[in-house]
Structure 1
């Protein structure tokens, strides 16, 4: 959606991303010069004395031929770790989308940008407070067949909000669902699809997902909530994928090239990944330096207990989700500050992921507080209008002692080039 011209190539119907992955994985698997280490979590960057990134530390989880923590030395590092959707309670992202590459870049001293711009899908299946990982999407097609949204009082709350009511655009539906959840204190609203004939035949995947949690869409209301879908921000890069730290590149949802602005258009993430992946490869091939050994690294002794992960996600979903305000964001920041006290000495996978989510949550909330306007996928209830004073990007970074730094960058805004 949102394109002015037809510019999307499809493969396998709606399986374009799967086809891109298949082709790339096949190319990697067939190249004898590439070694793949599976089931590994990247932890931190290694640097030379001059501050250039020259490798990473990784934690191999033990399902492959290696196990434990080790170093991978390199002449350049490209971060392609995907999104950060797990910072919220509900997400369409898989369980591994904990923003590990963005967190690594922050600890390495790199700038992140535009992290306040998080896209949300209005309706995923709410699977309970303890649910983790990828949440099943409840497609707009269900509402297109006559299903409608109601709150805890059974009221059709989309009526009067938009002329199309339950078929309003995604962002409008997501905002109103969030308002209803805030008003009632509930973790979800309801989708009434009981009037749809032959539901199980028309929507077999959705029907199966509902049945897994004991919901029969033919007789029961379906619990739904907005879910994080895509991060338009990430590690700030130039048009060749360079981060602000020498030797460190980023690509895909990990990166922030600026191509998505404040609100990504449909399918542009696939295009961005391919274009900037090729640019990075060309840049590395032309400019790869001689290898240097890493200098002694400062130990990273700030790890958080995995026990806080659920509370962190709930706080972000409540106060820094679709509908935001100064009050809700400050409350979220207060909760995050409290959670920082829950440190752990056990450097396991869950602790690293939780620590990464904490860093990303803090960056998102800080940027959302600073941007006192509504723009794209960032919507401030207390600043509902878009302001010409905010045609700029917010950068966040961490100092060596762990203090946050913020800066802004003016954005070129000459619309004449769009003809």
Structure 2
């Protein structure tokens, strides 16, 4: 195996900061660190493999005269099913306005009225209209476009496209760099980047599921690397399924944004009956986990689930929601006149690498933000449009922490060296990938039970004992960790639904914190009980 040591950007042979991931959190952190030297590793061309670019709803921020950060915190806590860290939620909500103004300064074209004031929309479980959007459903794409342009202009930021982080380099208990695979160079090409600090912002776990709204690159690599380094992981069992992915058989599944229901769209079955009215007092605006389970049950029963936008949006659909409209029309569905078939799809992971209010993990030299991290802001069920907000708030906090804790950098301009074109990516064992994704969807999905989770653990334990290439091994490891956490939590709460434990239990009124050693113990116990 060839391991190349990349020439660092500082004179002492060590990079200041390596950021793993080119989504919103990673790029925002890099910008906030300027002019400190930063290397950003990303598996796909910058922005293309990031869930952030696909976010449709927008960013939640209490910026209207009748709203407040306290009201935003209260809504976040209510949606989080009792597990939200109130201190973290308050930090996030109170810094929201500043981060929106940062994004405006970077050139994000948020929707405004004729007087230039930000237009604010409402989404599920929000008590106020506080969602800042771009052309209805294009917030993620517009934000990423603006940040990518800003990153490209800064000489202090080097972006290495086509590299997947595989493992953290350790010096005792201190992170001292990262080993990444060069996707252009075959299975044996590795890159070693020494660093004073590593920030994990490599996205979520949607690629572990057969039906997801996330890019396939989102396979939990950051969580796996942190776990191997001994980091504490948090709330892994809490996986949010977006209720209204468009059910047209695509991978990833296109999304029918929450904002459609905020504008008055409602859910119907094959016969045109609204089924949410009997399930929750807020009907279609109930928390996501409740709506997702209702749609899941409708689909399983054969009665179907459709989002009816004909009366609420109607002829305004192409202009107000161009992304959703294009996805529907490409499948022969005109949402102006036809209900949209929908199905729950893995959308967001509340769990991840445990971090504090500064974004620090339990491992020295390692920070995490975005969907890779678990701050406690979302509890057991994320409130709509809080994910992009959390990403920019804690990316900023990490940058502030690093600026205050690292020595002054030796600044040198990165040489303008051309990188090979990112074309054919390294082949992986697609059979293993398919097995992991099917197992997660079948047994660790919207609704779970003990026998199904035990079956998943048996499959993942088998993979754990096979000589898989590092990227696949990391993927199988994260799937195993999520299944183990779900097996251990014997209750239903937020994004975690156990058919054999359907009630919420006071015994489990706490967050989950696990190390890889704890996961091994859960798996061993589960498989022993099955023997």
Task: State the TM-score, normalizing by the size of structure 1.
Answer: 0.75
RMSD, aligned CA = 3.8
Q: Does the residue aligned with 1:5 lie in a helix, a strand or coil? A: helix
What residue is the counterpart of 1:132 in the other structure?
251
1:16-415 to 2 correspondences below 5 Å: 17=140, 21-22=144-145, 24-48=147-171, 50-62=172-184, 68-128=189-249, 131-137=250-256, 139=258, 141=260, 148-150=267-269, 158=276, 160-162=278-280, 168-183=286-301, 189-191=304-306, 193=308, 202-203=317-318, 205-215=323-333, 222-288=340-406, 305-340=429-464, 343-344=467-468, 347=469, 352=471, 354-399=472-517, 404-405=520-521
Provide the C-alpha distance between the structure 2 equivalents of 1:224 and 1:45, rounded to a whole number of angstroms: 40
Q: Does the residue aligned with 1:404 lie in a helix, a strand or coil? A: helix
The question of whether the paired residues in 1 share the 8 Å contact of 2:264 and 2:309 is answered with: no
Provide the C-alpha distance between the structure 1 equivalents of 2:282 and 2:229, rounded to a whole number of angstroms: 47
The question of whether the paired residues in 1 share the 8 Å contact of 2:359 and 2:398 is answered with: yes
The verdict on how the C-alpha distance between 1:380 and 1:260 changes in structure 2, with shifts beyond 3 A counting, is same
The question of whether the paired residues in 1 share the 8 Å contact of 2:232 and 2:353 is answered with: yes
Q: Deviations over 1:158-208 (max 9, x none)?
A: 464345655654322211222344456xxx934275966995752554343
Provide the C-alpha distance between the structure 2 equivalents of 1:264 and 1:207, rounded to a whole number of angstroms: 26
Provide the C-alpha distance between the structure 2 equivalents of 1:343 and 1:367, rounded to a whole number of angstroms: 24
Q: Deviations over 1:256-312 (max 9, x none)?
A: 122222222333333333332233223323333799xxxxxxxxxxx9833122232
Q: Deviations over 1:347-371 (max 9, x none)?
A: 4xxx71x433322221111111211
Q: Deviations over 1:84-136 (max 9, x none)?
A: 212222222223222221111112221211111112211111233xx433533
The question of whether the paired residues in 2 share the 8 Å contact of 1:75 and 1:289 is answered with: no
Q: Does the residue aligned with 1:267 lie in a helix, a strand or coil? A: coil
Q: Where do 5+ consecutive residues of structure 1 fail to align?
A: 292-302, 407-419
Alpha-carbon distance, 1:154 to partner:
8.6
The question of whether the paired residues in 1 share the 8 Å contact of 2:360 and 2:366 is answered with: yes
Task: State the TM-score, normalizing by the size of structure 2.
Answer: 0.61
| 382-391 vs 114-123, greater mean Cα deviation | 382-391
Provide the C-alpha distance between the structure 1 equivalents of 2:307 and 2:437, rounded to a whole number of angstroms: 27
Q: Does the residue aligned with 1:36 lie in a helix, a strand or coil? A: strand
Question: In the comparison of the two structures, how many residue pairs are matched?
Answer: 378
Alpha-carbon distance, 1:250 to partner:
0.9
Provide the C-alpha distance between the structure 2 equivalents of 1:242 and 1:109, rounded to a whole number of angstroms: 14
Provide the C-alpha distance between the structure 2 equivalents of 1:276 and 1:215, rounded to a whole number of angstroms: 39
The question of whether the paired residues in 2 share the 8 Å contact of 1:88 and 1:316 is answered with: yes
